[in-house]
Amino acid sequence: MDPVVRVTGLTQGYGARTVIEGLDLDLGVGAFGLLGPNGAGKTTLLRTLATIAPPGAGSLEILGRRITSERSARRARREIGFLPQDFGHHPGFTVHDFVAYCAWLREVPARQVHRDSLRVIEQVGLADRRNERMKALSGGMLRRAGIASALVGSPRLVLLDEPTVGLDPAQRLEFRELIRSLAEDTAVVLSTHLVEDVSAVCREVAVMAAGRFVFRGTPAEMTALASPGTQGDTALERGYISVLGAGR
Amino acid sequence: MIGYRTELRRSPLRWWFPLLVLLDLAAIFGRGRWWIGEWPMTSVQAQIPAFYLAPLLAAAAAWAAGRTGRNGLRDQLAAAARPRPQVEFAQLAAALTYGLLAYALGAAVAAGVSLPTAGPGFLWPGYLLLGAALMVSFAAAGHLAGRTFPGGFATPVACGLGGFIVIAWAAGPQQLGLFAINGAPFRTVSWPALAVRLALAGLLLAGAVGLRRPGGRSAGRRALAAVAFGAALVVVTVALTVTVPLQVDRAAPAQPLCTTGAPTICLWPEDRNQLLRAQAMADRMRQLPTALVTLPARPIAELGLGRGGSRDPEGFYVLEGDMWDPAQTMAGDIMEASRPQGCPDPAVSAFTPEFYRASGELMMWLTMRIYGGPMPATMHGGPPSVDLGAVADVVRGTDAEQLAWAGQRSEVIHRAYCG
């Protein structure tokens, strides 16, 4: 079976500055965690996977189709749900308007938009606030509305950049449960600073530093790499710090 | 449709719409009521609100278009499957819907009040399309400005004020010709000129929704599109100036409306609501003292009905729906027909200030006699050094008094010609 995402020899940058260099990645169904310090290239990789930024070099395939043109990118975007790190919203929109608008942007068939918007709004726990304006929501609720906007239309690839920022502990637990169930039949890429989110939901994890992967494996494998004496509250955190240290 | 409906719901113009309608109606009725009952004038009048709505639409479209940038949706739109022009069009279409709906409502009201007194016919689409093209052009330009400079204050204000400045200084009928202010029945919008203005609206619309910053996957194509847009804009702007004047003469109707009896006054069928007044004027002309004046033998025709078309020096023009100006033209015709015959052409030095004053006074007396009263307050002007109030007093006098007064002026004129 073809992977959902295949990246080969990806080099990406802004002007003269190279952010990602020679990266290869195959992703199938399941949750994939992307860890790394600020500036490691996580957001750039996600923007590339979202087909916003064309590869500087190398190739990108989504669902078996190579993305070489705006037309092929647009076709792929119908199957991609993307939550940017600083996602925007129109403050006057209601939650339902916002999610439905995002569905419209993704060309979800018109007859499905209303029903599917209600479904994902309920999934993120905002059903009782679906008619509230976005400007009236708290930070955590806004984040959940953003997650709903990425899930509407049942995309086959979901890219979430720092999705749990602003969520309280209970909401984070609910979010993890949501991602776990989503990852049963969807490829989910979760970029985050929070290693516990990764350990809770991701089958596979990669650590990025300076534009390349310094680790790829399961959370358990990363935990096993923890060096004695490394600081960290959990075994996975210690593994992560160790991997980063070795990568540098 | 979901995007369009959403944009309609969140458009700032949703709240301003009643005000737009009020503004539209104020622009239509605030200028006077003389256009009522005359289809081409009603059509031009229905188009007048576009002067005000277009800059407002430009400001509103700029504000709305800038929200994507201000609200941080650039990444979401960049990651959208839906082509960007569709997203932009939904936004611009919402602003246009409110503006054009207000415009259409105003036109419907104008048509409604004209219908009972106007004859056969209806609003002339050329004028309405001209106003619509103006509004679309301005809204599209505002949208493009808002996309480029997404500020929530400076850009909309600049678009609104800039729009008013363009309307006031550059868009007039003799300049770029983006609108008409006169709906005389002998003129109509030139279809090539209208086509160019619609093309301008279409071009700006395409640019507003289709142009993108060069860069990304289609950098070359985007740059090429921008260059093509700029070139097309230059071509259309040149075409605008080439297709001025905006209005062209209409072919005279085979059967104009004419009064009965001599002298005959003929009107365009669109001016049928003036026919009774014209008949009364013709009747009053017949009552003028024949000892003093000679009535013209040929029919007195509205501009465009005679051989000279709209530049016929002997034709009259129903200015702002009032027959005062025609009465003046008819008085001039009578003065010309009554000129002393058989005397050699006098030297210019024979035309003394006294002669000019006598000619002016006699002409205004004739005008008031034909018109049936003094100059209405809505009209202005008159021959220099003529006291219109004094002439009006004369007209109110007895026939004998008027005859004596006019005879004195006639004598002065006769002396200038025949010594």
What integer is the mean pLDDT of B5-22? 92
pLDDT at residue B344 is higher than 80: no
CA-wise closest residue to B76 among A63, A118, A81, A111: A81
Among chain A, residues having any CB pair with chain B shorter than 8 Å are 47, 50-54, 69-70, 73-75, 77-78, 80, 82, 84, 86-93, 97, 100-107, 110, 113, 149
| Residue of A73, A88, A91 lying closest to B217 (CB–CB) | A73
Considering only B117-131, B192-206, B332-346, B350-364, which range has the smallest mean pLDDT? Answer: B332-346
What integer is the mean pLDDT of B34-39? 93
Q: How far is CA A23 from the centre of its chain?
A: 17
pLDDT at residue B93 is higher than 80: yes
Q: Extract the tokens encoding A193.
A: 């600073």
Kindly report the nearest CA distance between residue A122 and chain B, in angstroms. 21
In this structure, are residues B114 and B36 in contact, taking their beta carbons and an 8 Å threshold? yes
Contact A87 B67 (CB under 8 A): no
Cα angle B5, B8, B11; round to 5: 150
Chain A residues whose CB is inside 8 A of the B6 CB are 93, 97, 100-101, 104
Residues 6+ apart with CB under 8 A from B160: B55, B56, B58, B59
Residue B368: is it exposed, middle or buried by C-beta count within 10 angstroms (0-12/13-18/19+)? Answer: buried
- Contacts A–B by Cβ distance under 8 A: 85
Chain B residues whose CB is inside 8 A of the A104 CB are 2-3, 6, 82
Contact B217 A69 (CB under 8 A): yes
Nearest chain A residue to B74 by CA: give it. A88
The confidence band for A18, taking pLDDT boundaries of 50, 70 and 90, is confident
Contact B76 A92 (CB under 8 A): no
ipTM of predicted complex: 0.90
Chain B residues whose CB is inside 8 A of the A86 CB are 72, 75
CA-wise closest residue to B19 among B109, B112, B111, B98: B98
- Give the pLDDT confidence score for residue B134 in this predicted structure: 97
* A125: number of Cβ within 10 Å: 18
CA-wise closest residue to A187 among A34, A66, A24, A18: A34
Cα angle B141, B201, B196; round to 5: 135
| Residue of A69, A80, A107 lying closest to B82 (CB–CB) | A107
pLDDT at residue A247 is higher than 70: no
3-state secondary structure of A107: coil
- Give me the percent of chain B exceeding a pLDDT of 90: 64
| Residue of A84, A106, A110 lying closest to B81 (CB–CB) | A106
Kindly report the nearest CA distance between residue A55 and chain B, in angstroms. 9
Residues A86-131 have pLDDT tens digits of 888 988 899 999 999 999 999 999 999 999 999 999 999 999 999 9
- Give the pLDDT confidence score for residue B45 in this predicted structure: 96
Chain A residues whose CB is inside 8 A of the B9 CB are 97
In this structure, are residues A91 and B71 in contact, taking their beta carbons and an 8 Å threshold? yes
Residues B255-289 have pLDDT tens digits of 899 999 888 999 999 999 999 999 999 999 998 98
In this structure, are residues B281 and B289 in contact, taking their beta carbons and an 8 Å threshold? no
DSSP state of A163: T
What integer is the mean pLDDT of A189-193? 91
Q: Extract the tokens encoding B60.
A: 């509103």
Rounded to an integer, what distance in angstroms lies between the CA atom of residue A53 and that of residue A19?
Answer: 12
* B276: number of Cβ within 10 Å: 10
E strands, B236-306, in order? 247-249, 257-258, 265-267, 300-301
Rounded to an integer, what distance in angstroms lies between the CA atom of residue A68 and that of residue B417?
Answer: 92
Residues B243-259 have pLDDT tens digits of 988 999 999 998 899 99
pLDDT at residue B311 is higher than 80: no
For the CA atoms of B22, B23, B25, B29, the dihedral, rounded to the nearest 10 degrees, stands at: 130
- Give the pLDDT confidence score for residue B289 in this predicted structure: 87
Question: How many helices (DSSP H) and strands (DSSP E) are in chain B?
Answer: 15, 5
* Alpha carbon distances (Å) from B123 to A113, B38, B95, B108, B130: 42, 9, 25, 9, 13
pLDDT at residue B77 is higher than 70: yes
Rounded to an integer, what distance in angstroms lies between the CA atom of residue B262 and that of residue B272?
Answer: 19
Residues 6+ apart with CB under 8 A from A117: A96, A99, A100, A103, A148, A152
Chain B residues whose CB is inside 8 A of the A72 CB are none
* Alpha carbon distances (Å) from A97 to A61, A75, A94, A145, B268: 32, 24, 5, 11, 56
Residues 6+ apart with CB under 8 A from B223: B214
Contact A75 B81 (CB under 8 A): yes
In this structure, are residues B302 and B147 in contact, taking their beta carbons and an 8 Å threshold? no
The confidence band for A248, taking pLDDT boundaries of 50, 70 and 90, is low
Among chain B, residues having any CB pair with chain A shorter than 8 Å are 1-3, 6, 9-10, 67-68, 71-83, 87, 216-218
Rounded to an integer, what distance in angstroms lies between the CA atom of residue B191 and that of residue B194?
Answer: 5
pLDDT at residue B213 is higher than 90: no
Residues 6+ apart with CB under 8 A from B49: B23, B24, B27, B28, B102, B103, B106, B131
Kindly report the nearest CA distance between residue B53 and chain A, in angstroms. 25
Rounded to an integer, what distance in angstroms lies between the CA atom of residue A80 and that of residue A70?
Answer: 15
In this structure, are residues A147 and A83 in contact, taking their beta carbons and an 8 Å threshold? yes
**One-letter amino acid identity for A145?**
A
Contact A106 B1 (CB under 8 A): no
Contact A90 B80 (CB under 8 A): no
3-state secondary structure of A129: helix
Kindly report the nearest CA distance between residue B15 and chain A, in angstroms. 13
Q: Extract the tokens encoding B37.
A: 């009952």
| Residue of B1, B75, B218 lying closest to A52 (CB–CB) | B75
Q: How far is CA A125 from the centre of its chain?
A: 19
CA-wise closest residue to B183 among B308, B28, B45: B45
* A78: number of Cβ within 10 Å: 16
- Give the pLDDT confidence score for residue B128 in this predicted structure: 98
Contact A74 B83 (CB under 8 A): yes
Q: Extract the tokens encoding A219.
A: 């959370």
Cα angle A26, A30, A31; round to 5: 90
Rounded to an integer, what distance in angstroms lies between the CA atom of residue B24 and that of residue B46?
Answer: 8
Chain B residues whose CB is inside 8 A of the A51 CB are 79
| Residue of A54, A70, A105 lying closest to B76 (CB–CB) | A105
Question: How many helices (DSSP H) and strands (DSSP E) are in chain A?
Answer: 9, 10
